[in-house]
Structure 1
Amino acid sequence: MGALDKGNFDLELEDSLKLGLIKLGLEEEPRTAQIEDAVRVLLQGLGEDINREGLKKTPLRVAKAFREGTTGYKQNIRDIVQGALFPEAGVDKRLGHAGGAGGLVIVRDLDHFSYCESCLLPFQVKCHVGYVPSGQQVVGLSKLSRVVDVFAKRLQDPQRLADEVCSALHHGIRPAGVAVVAECHHIHFPNLESLFLDSKPEGWIKVLVSSGSGVFEDDGASIWSEFLGLLKCRDLTPDKFRKRNSADHWCPSQATSCTKIPASLGSVNLGMVSAVASIIRSLGEDPLRKELVGTPARFVRWIMNFQNSNLEMKLNGFLSYKPETPGSNGEAKFSKKLHYELGLPFWSQCEHHLLPFHGVVHIGYFFGEGVNPIGKYLLQSIVHFYGFKLQVQERLTRQIAETLAPLLGGDIMVVAEASHTCMISRGIEKFGSSTATIAVLGRFSTDSGARALFLESLPSTNNF
C-alpha cells in the first residue's frame, strides 16, 4: 500500500495532530502536557484502558481541542480593531436613520462556540451585533465577528459573553452605541432515572441574552425596536430574553436533577476532580474563581454517566428474551412484514475527544405473522446500554444491530442520527451538521427494496 499502509497512516495522523499544536505554538508547552496527563486520569477513572485503540491519542486530541477553544485569553481586542477603522464622510455623532449616514449597522448570524464555565462542555453561540457609527469612521464588518470569537474562545457564561463583546466594541470603535444579542444552545444533561419516562427528552437548552451601550443602554430605547425589527424573522423579541442576574441557572449541570450523584455512580472521584481543576489552570484560568469553584465536580458528574459498564442493565437478561408466539404448535408463519420503532433517543460521549453527541435511533425488522413485536421499552434499554459509554457512532449502530439480531430473527436494520459537539467546537466549527450511520443484517443486507422501504418510513426532519 506504500504511503497508505497502516504504519504510515498512523504516523501521519499523529503528525497532523502535532502540526495543529505547532501552528498554535502549543505543542511543547508544559500546559499541553498537563492537560494530557489530566485526561489520562479521567479515562482511568472511567475504567478505560488508556492504551486501547481509539483512546491512545485521545489525551492529545482533547488537549488540542481545549487549547484551540480557549485562545481568546491571549488575544488583544485593540490589535484586531484599530487596524480596521475606516474613515467615512458624513458619519458623525448625530444619530441618523437606518440606511443613511450615521445609521444602524447590523451583522447577523455570527456562528461561534464557547466552553461553558459551569461544566466545561462546549455550547453553540449565534450572535447578532449592531452599532451606530460616530466620529466619521466605521469598522470592517469581519472584525465584529473576530471580536465575538475572542470572547467566545474562553470559559464563558452567555450574559457575560454578550456584555464583554458589547464593552469591547464600545471602547474599541467609539460608536454612538452597541447592541449585542446572543442565542446560546447547550446540550441537555439527561437524567438517567427519568429517561424511560420521558418519550421526548430535550436535546438542547436555549437561552437568549442581550447587552447594550450608549444609545442602546436603555432597554426601552426606540432604537432597540429598530435593531430587533431587523431580527424579528428569527423570532427574537424582548420578552424572550433571559433577565439579567436571573437566579435560574442556564447550564443544566446546575439543575436540581443534576446536582446529586445517582447512587449507581457512587461518590465523586477526588482524583478526577483534581485532574479537571488542573485542566482549568492549564487554560490560564483560576479554578478558585467564584464561577468555577464547582466546575470540576460538575464535569466529573457528567462524564461518569459514561463510565464503563455503569448502567445497571444485564444484557444476559435481554438475550434470554423470547418473543411470544401464539398458536398450537408455537411456530410463526413463514410470511413476514416490516415493523419499526422510530426516534429512540440516546446520549453518548465521543471517545476521540471526550465530547458529547446525542440523537435518535431508528430500528426496522421483519417479524413473522402471529408473533408479537418486541416492546419499545426493551429496544430503548438496549439503545441506552450502548449509548452511555465512550463511543463512536459507527460502533454504536453496529452493536445495537448485532444485539437485536438474535432477538428478532436476524433481519434487522438500524439507523442512528446524531449531532456531535465535536463538529461545532474545535477547528471544524460546522454548525447545524448531523451524522447518520446504518447497520444492516440478514435480509436487509441483500434486499435493496427492503432497505428503501424502511428508509422511507424515517422522519424527514431531525428531532434532536
Structure 2
Amino acid sequence: MSMEVENGVKHCGFEDEPETIAIMNAVKVLLQGLGEDINREGIKKTPLRVAKALREGTRGYGQTANEIIQSALFPEDGLHNGVGQAGGAGGIVIVRDIDFFSYCESCLLPFQVKCHVGYVPSGQRVVGLSKLSRAADVFAKRLQKPQRLADQICSALQHGIKPGGVAVVLHCLHTHFPSLESFFLDSKSPGWVKVQVQSGSGAFESQDADIWMEFFSLLKFRGTYPTKAGAPDSNAQHWCPSHFSSASKFSTKPEPLNLKMTTAVTSILRSLGEDPSRKELLGTPGHFVNWLMNFQNCNVEMKMDMNKLNGFANGRTHFDHNENSNLPEKQIQSEMNFLFWSQCEHHLLPFYGVVHIGFIRDDGLTPLEKSRLNSVIHFYGFKLQVQERMTRQIAETVSSLLGTDVIVVAEGSHTCMISRGIEKFGSTTATVAALGRFSSDAAARSMFLQSIPQTTIGEL
C-alpha cells in the first residue's frame, strides 16, 4: 500500500533510484543558494517533491510513440487504398483541444499546450483516436520548445499510421518572467507569452494546401480561432521569456551566477536523461538560476520600502473601535486586482494572480496610497511561499497600516496544480484572511466578497 511521504512513509516508486537522489541533492543546493533552511518545515520535503515532478514531467524519454500507435491500428473495410475515404464518411479525422504541459528546454519551467491533431486515413486502416493524444503526450513529456514538439508529433504519426497526411496545431502559453518594473509600470502586464505553431506532412506538407483550410474550418466549428495556415508565429523560435527578459530598473547591478547552483541544474538535466552539452540546453542552467533568484533579489530590493512602511504605520494615529457601531457608519472600502507573483516552496514552481483588499477605515486616518499596498503584496509575494501564508501576512501588515478591520482575498493560478496536480487548465485557487470585524461579522465579509470583480487570471 502506498502512503504519502508527509506521513512518514515512503511512496512506492523511484525514490531510491540514483537519478532521483541526484536531483534531490541538486535541489538542496538551489535552496541553500536562495538562503533557505533546507530543514525547515514546508521546505524539507521540497527536494523529493521537485524530483518527482521533474521525473514524472519528463517520462517521455522512456516511452516510444510508435509502440502506442502500432497497438491501436485497426482495419477498416470501407477505407479504400486511396486517400480520404474513411468508411465512406469523409476525409480528415481530427482530435481537438488536447490539453497537456511540457517543460521548456530553455528555462525548465512548465508551459501549457492545447493541441489539435488530425490525419487523412489511407491504406485500409485507422488508428484508435485516444492514441493520437497519447502519442502527442510522449513528446510533450520531454524538455521541449513548441515547433520541435509539433514536428515530432507530426513525424511520429506519419511514420506510425502511414496516412495520407498529418496536421498538428499547438497553442502554447509560457509563464512570464516577473519583474518589479512590470508591476509598477504596467498593471495589466499579461501572465503568459502565447505562441501558435503548426506542422504538416503528406497532404498537409505545403502550408498553402487547400486541405489546411478544411482542417482550420473544423477547428473554428468548435469555437477555436487559430492563426490561418501558412502564417506561423514569428515568436515561436525564441518565445521563452528567458531569451528576452531584462533586469528591472528597480534592481541593482546583476550579480554573477552562483556556480554551485548552475552546476546543480546541469546535474538535474543529466539525471533526466538529457545531454547538458546539447546546443539548446547550454544556457538552461543559467536561465533557471536567474528565474529562482528573482524570488531572492526582488525581495532584498524591497526591504527598504517595507522599513519605510513600518515607520509609516508606527507614526499613524489609531482610534479605538466602537464595537457597537453599525456597519453603515464605517463604510467598507476596497482596493481590487493587485497583481502578485510568487514561487511555490513545495515544488519550486511559480504561482501568480490577484489580491483584493477590503477595510473599514477609521475616521481621521490618512488614506494609504495604492503604491504602498503594492509594496506590501510584492514583498510577501516575491519569495518561496504558500498562498495561505502569503494571504495572512498581507492581511496582518495591511491591518497595521489601515486599522484592525481588514479582509484580504488572493486568487491564484498554480503551475504545480496544472502540471502535476489535478492537471486541469484554468483551475484556480482562492484564499481569505479576515481580521477584526471581518472575522466576526458575516454580513461584512459577504458584502466585500460579493463586490470582487470577476477576473480571468490567465488573461491578466
Equivalent in the alignment of 1:41: 29
Which of residues 244, 255, 267 in structure 2 aligns to 1:255?
244
Q: 1:247 and 1:77, CA in 2 relative to 1: closer, same or farther beyond 3 A?
A: closer
Q: 1:247 and 1:205, CA in 2 relative to 1: closer, same or farther beyond 3 A?
A: closer
Q: 1:73 and 1:97, CA in 2 relative to 1: closer, same or farther beyond 3 A?
A: same
Equivalent in the alignment of 1:342: 336
Distance 1:143 1:99 in 2: 19
CA shift, 1:134, in A, is 0.5
Distance 1:259 1:160 in 2: 31
Which of residues 225, 234, 242 in structure 2 aligns to 1:235?
225
Tell me, yes or no, if the aligned pair for 1:148 and 1:165 is still in contact at 8 Å.
Answer: yes
Letter in 2 for 1:450: A
Distance 1:372 1:94 in 2: 79
Tell me, yes or no, if the aligned pair for 1:94 and 1:102 is still in contact at 8 Å.
Answer: no
Tell me, yes or no, if the aligned pair for 1:265 and 1:304 is still in contact at 8 Å.
Answer: no
Matched, 1:63 2:51: yes
Q: 1:164 and 1:199, CA in 2 relative to 1: closer, same or farther beyond 3 A?
A: same
Q: 1:11 and 1:255, CA in 2 relative to 1: closer, same or farther beyond 3 A?
A: closer
Distance 1:62 1:43 in 2: 11
Please give the residue correspondences for 1:70-219 in structure 2 after superposition, counting only pairs within 5 Å: 70-96=58-84, 100-101=88-89, 103-219=91-207
Distance 2:281 2:21 in 1: 22
Q: 1:224 and 1:370, CA in 2 relative to 1: closer, same or farther beyond 3 A?
A: same
Which of residues 240, 250, 269 in structure 1 aligns to 2:258?
269
Tell me, yes or no, if the aligned pair for 1:125 and 1:184 is still in contact at 8 Å.
Answer: yes
Matched, 1:357 2:351: yes
Distance 1:251 1:339 in 2: 40
Equivalent in the alignment of 1:445: 439
Tell me, yes or no, if the aligned pair for 1:182 and 1:209 is still in contact at 8 Å.
Answer: yes
CA deviation string 1:424-456 (max 9, x = no partner): 112531221000000000010011111111111
Tell me, yes or no, if the aligned pair for 1:339 and 1:373 is still in contact at 8 Å.
Answer: no
CA shift, 1:62, in A, is 0.4
Tell me, yes or no, if the aligned pair for 1:363 and 1:413 is still in contact at 8 Å.
Answer: yes
Distance 1:357 1:58 in 2: 16
What SS class does the counterpart of residue 425 from structure 1 fall into?
Answer: helix
Tell me, yes or no, if the aligned pair for 1:189 and 1:258 is still in contact at 8 Å.
Answer: no
CA shift, 1:372, in A, is 3.9
CA shift, 1:132, in A, is 0.5
What SS class does the counterpart of residue 194 from structure 2 fall into?
Answer: strand
Distance 1:341 1:272 in 2: 39
Q: What fraction of aligned residue pairs are identical, expressed as a percent?
A: 62
Equivalent in the alignment of 1:454: 448
Distance 1:221 1:240 in 2: 9
CA deviation string 1:253-311 (max 9, x = no partner): 11142699943652211110110011001001011111110010000000001128433
CA deviation string 1:146-187 (max 9, x = no partner): 111100000000000000000000000100000000111111
CA deviation string 1:236-268 (max 9, x = no partner): 132795347x68611111114269994365221
Moved more, 306-315 or 263-272: 306-315
CA deviation string 1:198-218 (max 9, x = no partner): 111211111111000000001
Gaps of 5+ in 2: none
Equivalent in the alignment of 1:311: 301
Q: 1:400 and 1:390, CA in 2 relative to 1: closer, same or farther beyond 3 A?
A: same
Distance 1:34 1:82 in 2: 35
Gaps of 5+ in 1: 1-8
TM-score by structure 1 length? 0.90
Tell me, yes or no, if the aligned pair for 1:325 and 1:332 is still in contact at 8 Å.
Answer: no
Tell me, yes or no, if the aligned pair for 2:380 and 2:390 is still in contact at 8 Å.
Answer: yes
Q: 1:274 and 1:29, CA in 2 relative to 1: closer, same or farther beyond 3 A?
A: same
Equivalent in the alignment of 1:28: 16
Distance 1:125 1:319 in 2: 44
Report the RMSD for the aligned CA atoms in angstroms.
2.6
What SS class does the counterpart of residue 69 from structure 2 fall into?
Answer: helix
Distance 2:94 2:5 in 1: 46
TM-score by structure 2 length? 0.91
Tell me, yes or no, if the aligned pair for 1:43 and 1:49 is still in contact at 8 Å.
Answer: yes
Matched, 1:401 2:395: yes
Equivalent in the alignment of 2:311: 320
CA shift, 1:354, in A, is 0.4
Distance 1:240 1:322 in 2: 59
